[in-house]
Amino acid sequence: MLNRNDPIPLYEQLKSIIEDDIKNGKLRYNDQIPSERELCQQFNVSRITVRQAISLAEKEGLVQRLHGVGTFVAKPKIQQELTTINNFKSTLEKQGLLASTQYHDSKVISSDFQLSRLLHIDVMDKVLNLQLVGLGDDSPIVFYNSYFEYNIGMKIKESADLAIEKNIPFSTLDLYENVELAPTHVEQTFESVAANEHVSDILHVETGFPLLRITSIVFQDTLPLEYKESYYRGDKYRFFITRKW
């Protein structure tokens, strides 16, 4: 029930009730949620409050509005286990999504100071920049921006070309087994960032939209094979981990 004495605004309380119903299983994927009018009556609140609640629920990826039809419970977020290296296709398939991968861009650039340090190469050495978009059910979910030392990059690109030609979904991590490279580990940082113009275009979200940025360096022993910045849509993706005491 809504609590009018609570400092939490009514629309957030109403959003939490909808969220709980989804988590409880009272509302399931693809169920239609009650109409604005029904919610106004049931909770004795204004239409503005109901609209704000639904708009917030939509932002959080809980529901999806189909104009002229109604509002429906959205697919739950994609979950990826953190402690093992996962395959992009199988992670999405577990959530019932059809995965696919597209090129956004692929180009040879000169290494700047930062890339040189990250990839253990000289400044001005050739670097392959591979920009990929990972999609689930044809919606962009993740933008991968990878940098490789040129010779390594060309092998990876060849493997990527083949996967795209054959319509096999992948992330760069899935390609190493196809080339004569054997990564041993990956160092990653996780942070929450606001989408800039460039990435918001690619992921079909507004500037400022919350994204999970994962910065990775893939190593074969002490040799860095790849430096990658991945941007996941915050409303579509989450990671999970079990940590021991």
In the complex, least distance from residue 207 CB atom to a copy of itself, rounded to whole angstroms: 10
The stretch near a copy of itself (CB under 8 A) out of 82-90, 95-103, 146-154, 161-169 is 82-90
Place of tokens 């920049």: 129
Q: Is there binding between residue 102 and a copy of itself (CB under 8 A)?
A: no
**Cβ-based neighbours of 27, under 8 Å, separated by 6 or more:** 18, 21, 33, 73
Q: Is there binding between residue 84 and a copy of itself (CB under 8 A)?
A: yes
Q: Is there binding between residue 24 and a copy of itself (CB under 8 A)?
A: yes
Q: Is there binding between residue 184 and a copy of itself (CB under 8 A)?
A: yes
In the complex, least distance from residue 61 CB atom to a copy of itself, rounded to whole angstroms: 9
Handedness of CA 184, 156, 200, 20 (dihedral sign): negative
158 Ramachandran zone, left/alpha/beta (phi>0; psi -120 to 50): alpha
Look up residue 147 and give its two tokens. Answer: 């940098």
* CA-to-CA separations, 212 to 48, 143, 145, 198, in angstroms, rounded: 30, 11, 14, 15
Q: Which is nearer to a copy of itself, 35 or 42 (CB)?
A: 42
Q: Is there binding between residue 240 and a copy of itself (CB under 8 A)?
A: yes
Q: Is there binding between residue 8 and a copy of itself (CB under 8 A)?
A: yes
Q: Is there binding between residue 1 and a copy of itself (CB under 8 A)?
A: no
| Residue in 5, 192, 221, 222 binding a copy of itself, rule: CB under 8 A | 192
Q: Is there binding between residue 179 and a copy of itself (CB under 8 A)?
A: no
**Cβ-based neighbours of 145, under 8 Å, separated by 6 or more:** 129, 130, 131, 228, 229, 230, 231
Amino acid at 207: T
Q: Which residues of 202-211 are buried (b: 16+ CB within 10 A; e: fewer)?
A: bbebeeebeb
| Residue in 112, 125, 158, 161 binding a copy of itself, rule: CB under 8 A | 112
The CA distance from 21 to 44, in Å, is: 18
In the complex, least distance from residue 208 CB atom to a copy of itself, rounded to whole angstroms: 6
Binding site for a copy of itself (CB under 8 A): 7-9, 12, 20, 23-24, 56, 59-60, 77, 79, 82-85, 112-114, 182-194, 196-198, 208-212, 232, 234, 237-245
